[in-house]
Amino acid sequence: MRYAETGFNLEIDLSRGSIERVETDPRLTPLHLGGQGTAAKILWDRVPPELDPFSPDNLLIFSTGLLHGTPVPGANRTAVNTFSPQTNFYSHSLFGGFFGPELKHAGYDKIIIRGKSSDLVYLWIHDDKVEIRDATHLRGKGAIETGALIKEELKEPEAQVAAIGLAGENRVYMSTIEHSNSSASRGVGVIMGDKKLKAIAVRGTKDINVARPAELFEICDRQYREIYDNPNCGCVFRHEDDESWHINNFAWGNARERRKGMWTQEREAEWAATTRKYTVRWTSCYNCPKDCHISIAYPGRQRYQLKCYSKLTYSMAAYEELDFNYSILGLTQEYGLDGFTTPQLLAFAVELYEAGILTDQDMPGFPATTAERFFWLVEKIARREGIGDVLANGVYWAARQIGKGAEEFDHNTMKKFEQVPLKLSMVNFPYFLMYATGEKMNITQIEGSYPQVPIADREEREEFVAGWEAAPERFKRWFLDWEPREHQSIEASVNIADWNETMHYIDDTIGTCAFLSSFRGQFGGRPPYHIYNLPQFVSCATGMELDDSDLWKIAARNRNLIRALNIRRGLRRSDEKPPEDHWKKRDPEMEQKMLDAYYEFKGWNSEGIPTRKTLEALSLEYVADDFEQRGILPEGEGTPLQEAVQRAGNR
């Protein structure tokens, strides 16, 4: 018997209209766990690096986490993986809600979609019965509305639906997949739209078996209560009216400036009143007591659920009050547009117009106020109409298509992807490393375990460290010695980057929410899940005996395999740099030293390519073989002397 996982994937070929239920290889679970880990293995095996992301042979994989459908609280984030036409690299997205656990109960660990349908379809999975159904009547329908319409036509109010909106249908690069209170962003909706798959509806009623049920239930029951009581987890801003953290620290407009003094008591009271006016209810995801989402009823808009920092992104990009954000979100979530990247794209377009690079000829009828302009642009982009067809390719590509100096306004992308609008003063080395080397295109998917800033008061710092169960010993030492305005050492920086990303790589495989784990330790240092208690949850559920170092190693294996996917598609050291102006004061020499040290720590060569030795230690020999065959690694590479020579040569 397979524990925690179902042992079956659903393979859908939309070109041929075929549906297969395929047993998975049980040996992959101890190597990769599940979720993103096993998805990466499938992408490695089946999608050659030459393949265009818009090829029918590109795969779109929905993965449940290994712990979905078990009683483990907060295990509900579904991973979506494919290759992105925007970056031409691996694309990784996660969404919460109820979809993953429902899919698990239907009897599947993953849905692997290949091919392209000739017209719009949706997938209906009801336990063993799986159908590809016509969705032409849903063309142009909103992403959230589509969910409701499908449930109604199937007479299945309990079905869980993930759908794309108009933006996805039109292959807009920043389109999302929307489900319940969550969105899958970072460029996966575009591939779903390319395959002409409007939605997936799933209903599952089967049991999931776990290895040590009584013990697991007991620790989960305790954990559920702990999560509820713990103020340092979940979305800590969800019930807060004080928005000063984002308002003061994040940049406005096209990631241009921080506005100190903008946040006042009067504004706080006004914005709080705005939120109250539209708030219907706070809601949570499956089996989690943290109500991180707000159900919003804005007059004239489809009801939607607000999450996280997208509460402010549009207002800050447009220099508008909060009401504007609630209004435009009601539209953009229905169109299925990413609430992080879209506002930056819109602000970028407004800047180009004001600079005379885009003119009234490009944008006939472009309104006068920023708020109206944003709405105008959203309509054009979602439909790929006129200038919208160019902008729908994201800031990087649009800038190059438009030309005439538009490239200068593309100052906040990295690896061709829009970054969080942060403009800071002094370079922070762990962050430099995470930005530069991350495969996930957004810092929020990489940072999170080690605090962003030191605690000035020594006594407070000691107290923090004393109860810091989540941290391996070495980090406690580094944090104790970290004084304000001081840099962390090379050794510390490298380790911090490594620990932060490792925790995400664990969440991504088992399906636990980063707000309870990998993202939350940095604020308060008391995340409910951490490297030392997670092994027990995984062991009780799966029956695999593992400890913190095993978990760390699995995360490293997945990290290297995903790295390899991008290396095979051409990623090299020269791509690994944060946006030029992310920090005002840079230290290029030290940054390169940091990068060298990080690569060395990871067992990568000076180009950031995992060496044979590293790959073999992680049972990824087949990656090394492939690299050598393709000439990415020289044969017999990996000896220290060769590495030193190569490093010297590259300088």
Partner 1 sequence: MNDQKVTKNVKEIKVDLDKCIGCRACEIACSAFHSRPRFGATNPARSRIRVVIDELNDVYVPIRAGDYTPAECTGRHKYTINGKEYNECSFCGVSCPSRDYFKEPDSGLPLKCDMCEEDPTLSEPWCVQVCRCDCLTYVEREELVEAEDEPRGEMELGLESLMNKYGVEKVLDAVARVSSKR
Residues near partner 1 (CB under 8 A): 69-71, 73, 98, 105, 144, 148, 157-158, 180-181, 204-210, 213-214, 216-218, 221, 224-225, 228, 280-289, 291, 295, 297, 302-303, 305
When the beta carbons of 55 and 279 are compared against partner 1, the nearer one is 279
318: closest CA among 359, 364, 375? 375
How many contiguous H segments (helices) and E segments (strands) does the chain have?
A: 25, 19
By beta-carbon proximity to partner 1, the closer residue of 310 and 495 is 310
Location of structure tokens 């990415």: 632
Buried b (16+ CB within 10 A) or exposed e, 305-320: bbbbbbbbbbbbbbbb
> What minimum distance in Å lies between the beta carbon of 176 and partner 1?
17
Asked whether 286 and 101 are in contact (CB, 8 A), the reply is: yes
Report the residue number, 214 or 466, with the smaller CB distance to partner 1: 214
Asked if residues 417 and 394 have their Cβ atoms less than 8 Å apart, the reply is yes
CA 398 to each of CA 361, 568, 611: distance values in angstroms, whole numbers, following the listed order? 17, 26, 36
Nearer to partner 1, 101 or 430 (CB): 101
When the beta carbons of 160 and 449 are compared against partner 1, the nearer one is 160
Cβ at position 281, least distance to partner 1 in Å: 6
CB of 207 to partner 1, least distance (A): 4
Which CB, 282 or 532, lies closer to partner 1? Answer: 282
C-alpha–C-alpha distance, residues 419 and 579, integer Å:
8
Cβ-based nearer residue to partner 1, 147 or 339? 147
202/387 with CB nearer partner 1:
202
Nearest to 169 by CA among 144, 147, 189: 189
**Residues whose CB falls within 8 Å of the CB of residue 129, separated by 6 or more in sequence, listed in order:** none
**SS3 category, 120:** coil
- 179, 147 contact by CB (below 8 A): yes
Q: How many CA atoms lie within 13 A of 259 on its CB side?
A: 16
At its nearest, how many Å lie between partner 1 and the CB of residue 71?
A: 5
222-238 burial, b at 16+ Cβ within 10 Å, e below that, comes to: ebbebbeebeebbbbbb
**How many residues are given for the chain?**
651
Determine the Cα–Cα distance for residues 272 and 451; give it in Å rounded to an integer: 28
